[in-house]
Each structure stands twice: as structure tokens, then as C-alpha cells.
């Protein structure tokens, strides 16, 4: 399947390098137009009707999210291109939107066409962009995450998650209403999404657990350490996580 693409990137040198990387490593992707700002990018997208847009986040004259906001319904898949550590990366992860980090590495491109085709086939874009806009604007307590089970994709409020439990390549999410959601993602993937922000209340406390500290009632200290949740669920804490957990738990209570 051949995929048509438009690149919106303000730095000419980076744009040209990226075009060559795609040509050499992703022959399934055909770049049909390039733009240096969101105004020209919008015009080209309307004219060319690409299947995918590679979109820089920060550009003179407006950012990539402002370009998306021009569409009532986004008619293409978006791959964001951003620097490591950009504030929006967490919002992209929570919203299940794809992105590449600058400088773009060859290994990051190897699975790109398959990821784009899967996203097109799943037809989830409307939900993803809706949650992205909310996550960019809402407080930490109001943010949502998109979860994909075997049968459907849905959004869940982060504040409703009590803890996550690893089961090899699957993760079970336990909500405050005792609902259980089994997701085909590793706990490490959830850790990268939920625990990468200092303001986040989520913390990985064990190789098998991530806990939302807002639901922790107390911490049992001793030869072994456990967190006790408000519903009296007891979760083990690894030795190397104990000190960091105690420090973060105390800081959240202040």
C-alpha cells in the first residue's frame, strides 16, 4: 500500500534530510508536498489530500496543533515530529498519537508504514484528536488516556485509575469502581506514558505495579514494604523504590 504524505517543517535542512530518510527507509511513503509553516501546510493539505502529514510542533507563525484545529474533522493520519522533552509529548502518548523525535533515527522509521496503515484501518483519529486537545488544555487531574482492548478503543480519566498490574505483555488496569481493563501493552509502556512527569501522581513501585498515589491510604514499612490503598488493596513495593516512594508520598500530602 502506497501512502501519500505532506511534510510541514520550518527548517529547510531538517526537511530535506527527513525526505531522504523516508525515501531510503520507507519506500511505501511518497512525499507529495512540503511546507515551512501552518498557513502553507493547510493550503497544501487541502489541495493534495494526503493520507499522512508529518507535522512539526513548534514553528514560526503557529504550532502544529493550531494547524489541526483548522479541520473540523482531521482527514489524515498525523505523525508529529518534535524535540525530546517537549511538553506535548506526554499529551501525545496519552492520546495514542504517533510521533518521531528529532533527530529522526533510522530505527524509528522501520515500523512507521505499518503503524500508519494500522491507524488508518482502525479509524480512531477523531477520538485521538479530541482527547489530545483536552490533554493539552486540561489540568493533570482532568487528563485522559486512550486504551485499546481487543474489541474497542475508549478513553479513561487518569484520576479514575487506582493501579496497574503487569502480566508479561499485558497490563490489567484497576479503576476506583473496581472495573478491570486488560490491555495488550507492557507495564513499561504505561510507565513511559504515566510516570514521566513530576506532577504525575503515578509511580512504578514494583516490577509488576504502577500505583496512583492519590489512592494510597498508608505505607507499611518494615523488612518488606507495602502500599495500602483506600479500598485496602495491598501492593508490594520493591526495595529500590521504597525511599523514592516515601519522599513522593509525603510531598503529595503537603
CATH for 156-253 is 2.40.50.1020
Please check the confidence at residue 216 and state whether its pLDDT lies above 80. Answer: yes
What is the C-alpha radius of gyration for the chain, rounded to an integer number of angstroms? 20
Q: What is residue 140's predicted lDDT score, i.e. its pLDDT?
A: 77
Calculate the alpha carbon distances from 17 to 12, 23, 105, 111, 190 in Å.
9, 10, 11, 19, 32
Average confidence (pLDDT) over 66-82: 93
Element (H, E) at 246: helix 239-253
- 150 or 58, greater pLDDT: 58
Residue 254 pLDDT level (bands cut at 50, 70, 90): low
Phi, psi of 143 (to 5 degrees): -70, 155
Residues 6+ apart with CB under 8 A from 10: 36, 37, 56, 59, 60
Average confidence (pLDDT) over 6-14: 95
| CA pair distance 90, 242, nearest whole angstrom | 25
Other Cβ atoms closer than 10 A to 238: 15
- 210 or 151, greater pLDDT: 210
| CA pair distance 213, 251, nearest whole angstrom | 11
Q: How do the domains of the chain map onto residue ranges?
A: 3-135, 156-253
Please check the confidence at residue 196 and state whether its pLDDT lies above 90. Answer: no
Residues pairing with 161 in the sheet? 175
Architecture of domain 3-135: 3-Layer(aba) Sandwich (3.40)
Task: Judge if the upstream peptide bond of residue 214 is cis by omega within 30 degrees of 0.
Answer: no
Q: Is 197 buried (19+), middle (13-18) or exposed (0-12) by CB count in 10 A?
A: middle
Residue 28 pLDDT level (bands cut at 50, 70, 90): very high
Q: What is residue 88's predicted lDDT score, i.e. its pLDDT?
A: 87
Amino acid at each position: 500500500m502506497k501512502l501519500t504524505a505532506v511534510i510541514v517543517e520550518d527548517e529547510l535542512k531538517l526537511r530535506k534530510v527527513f525526505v531522504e530518510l523516508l525515501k531510503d527507509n520507507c519506500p511505501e511513503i511518497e512525499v507529495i508536498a512540503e511546507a515551512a509553516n501552518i498557513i502553507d501546510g493547510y493550503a497544501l493539505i487541502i489541495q493534495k489530500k494526503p493520507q499522512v502529514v508529518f507535522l512539526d510542533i513548534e514553528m514560526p507563525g503557529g504550532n502544529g496543533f493550531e494547524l489541526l484545529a483548522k479541520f473540523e474533522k482531521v482527514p489524515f493520519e498525523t505523525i508529529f515530529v518534535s524535540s525530546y522533552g517537549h511538553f506535548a509529548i506526554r499529551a501525545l502518548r496519552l492520546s495514542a498519537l504517533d510521533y518521531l523525535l528529532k533527530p529522526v533515527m533510522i530505527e524509528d522509521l522501520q515500523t512507521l508504514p505499518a503503524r500508519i496503515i494500522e491507524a488508518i484501518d482502525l479509524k480512531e483519529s477523531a477520538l485521538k484528536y479530541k482527547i489530545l486537545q483536552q490533554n493539552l488544555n486540561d489540568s493533570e487531574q482532568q487528563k485522559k488516556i486512550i486504551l485499546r482492548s481487543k474489541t474497542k478503543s475508549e478513553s479513561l480519566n487518569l484520576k479514575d485509575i487506582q493501579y496497574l498490574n503487569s502480566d508479561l505483555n499485558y497490563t490489567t488496569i484497576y479503576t476506583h469502581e473496581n472495573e478491570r481493563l486488560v490491555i495488550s501493552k507492557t507495564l513499561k509502556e504505561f510507565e513511559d506514558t504515566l510516570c514521566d512527569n513530576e506532577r504525575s501522581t503515578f509511580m512504578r513501585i514494583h516490577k509488576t505495579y504502577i500505583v496512583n498515589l492519590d489512592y494510597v491510604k498508608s505505607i507499611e514499612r518494615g523488612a518488606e514494604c507495602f502500599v495500602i490503598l483506600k479500598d485496602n488493596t495491598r501492593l508490594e513495593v520493591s526495595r529500590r523504590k521504597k525511599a523514592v516512594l516515601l519522599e513522593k508520598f509525603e510531598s503529595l500530602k503537603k
